[in-house]
Amino acid sequence: MSMMKEQYDVVVIGAGGAGMTAALQASELGASVAVLEKEAKAGGNTNRASSGMNAAETDVQLQHRVTDSMTAFYHETFQGGGRLNDPAMLDFFVHHAPLAIDWLAARRMPLTSLTITGGMTKPRTHRPQSTAPVGNYLVKGLLARLKEKRVPVFTNSRVSNLLTNDHRITGVEVDQDGHLQTIQTKAVIVATGGFGANAKLISRLRPDLSGLKTTNQPGATGDGLQLAEEVGAAVRDLPFIQVHPTVQQDQPHAFLIGEAVRGEGAILVGQNGRRFINELATRRVVSNAIFALPEKSAYLIFDQSVRERAKAIDFYCHVGLVKQADSLTELGKTIGIDGGQLTATVQNWNQIVEQHQEDSLKRTTGRHPLKKGPFYAIHVAPAIHYTMGGLHTDPQTRVLDANGQPIAGLYAAGEVVGGLHGNNRIGGNSIAETVVFGRQAGIQAASDLRDCE
């Protein structure tokens, strides 16, 4: 393992997708870089991302004969965010997403399969060819590329303070396994993720969400917000907290069931065995529909063909989250739902799909028949998933103060930043955000360093 030096050109706080992307990009541009991660292993919430990475007008889409446009991607994300997204951030994001797909491919992390998520009208969610969960795939790839570039990733290394002089970043104080050290640097990239695991802060900001479980890893506590605020950073949109509709919570650990399961054809039914919502509406809409059910939970119903198209289901089965039966009638008995009604619901869905009929619940995407046994069910309910609010930055990732002025040498990328998603994030936009703005943070930090020379 590398020894921590006293000085680096760039210090990245957080070894999730955004942080490692930023570190790799800055290193490629000639900067000396260190990544500081407070947890015992790298990956953060990126390790838990499953569905994919959104981008429009990509070469991958052309290969799949998908006609898409950045304009549509912008509009659907803007609508999905309650029209509260920062327009400049969203415009930068949409136009740089296809470049980010190419950037990953050039670094041996190709995303060549497509699926669709709620709120989107086109398959623009890029994932590995194996259809495996995108997050762990990218974490492994980024760690490997950083190792090749000899960029150190220091785990168990918590940054306790950002150091400044005359409103300019000069260094960080870090606690590595109880050993305190000061690192001198002219550029700090905050990539610490959101605060979805900070129950106290969520309860203060959103009392209505108190008591909900979270899909987040324990380290998602909002440390980066506090670090940056202490040196004058402004924040925005903190009450915008997303609840994900499909989370398996019957075990002590809450497991997010990725949107790709619905994107590949799964339906949702209530305890009465009937569908109740367009399963690929936005997360806010689907979550509210589940909360409105008497039981405040639902079942994802799907068949073997969906399992074959969404490989994350293999993991869900492995950890015991999935009920299985050879027939829908038997599946209904297994999960305590009338088997006859469940069978009728699926038969009606199959008829809608196969005869190209209009769905009374207005589902127009991810329409696949459910006919191939065995059949499966996963019990789900909404849980805290993503914090849309965070640090106020410009599209170039420069952290702004209360007057809207950049704090020299301070950058941020990923979930720690607010503004991009409005009041609701679209599935597949988080991984895209980490790569798009992680790259930009690395580029901006390296560029500003050159300008200072």
Task: Report whether 10 contacts 189 (CB < 8 A).
Answer: yes
Indicate the angle between helix axes 17-28 and 134-148, nearest 10 degrees: 30
Task: Report whether 96 contacts 440 (CB < 8 A).
Answer: yes
CB atoms within 10 A of CB 319: 11
The pairs formed by 354-359 with CB atoms below 8 angstroms and a separation of 24 or more are: 359/278
- Give, rounded to a whole angstrom, the gap between the first and last alpha carbons of the chain: 31
- Angstrom CA distances, 320 to 191, 244, 296, 377, stand at 33, 20, 22, 11
- Residue 185's nearest CA partner among 31, 406, 39, 416 is 31
Give residue for tokens 């907290």. Answer: 241
| CA-atom Rg of the chain in angstroms | 22
Of 145, 283, 307, 309, the catalytic one is 283
383 phi-psi bin (left φ>0, alpha ψ -120 to 50, beta other)? beta
Reply yes or no on whether 206 is catalytic.
Answer: no
Separation of alpha carbons 129 and 9, rounded Å? 36
Task: Report whether 429 contacts 118 (CB < 8 A).
Answer: no
What's at 187, amino acid-wise? A
- Angstrom CA distances, 380 to 277, 278, 295, stand at 14, 16, 11
Return the structure tokens found at 14: 């957080």
Phi then psi dihedrals of residue 302, to 5 deg: -155, 175
What's at 311, amino acid-wise? K
Separation of alpha carbons 196 and 210, rounded Å? 12
> Could you give the residue numbers annotated as active site?
283
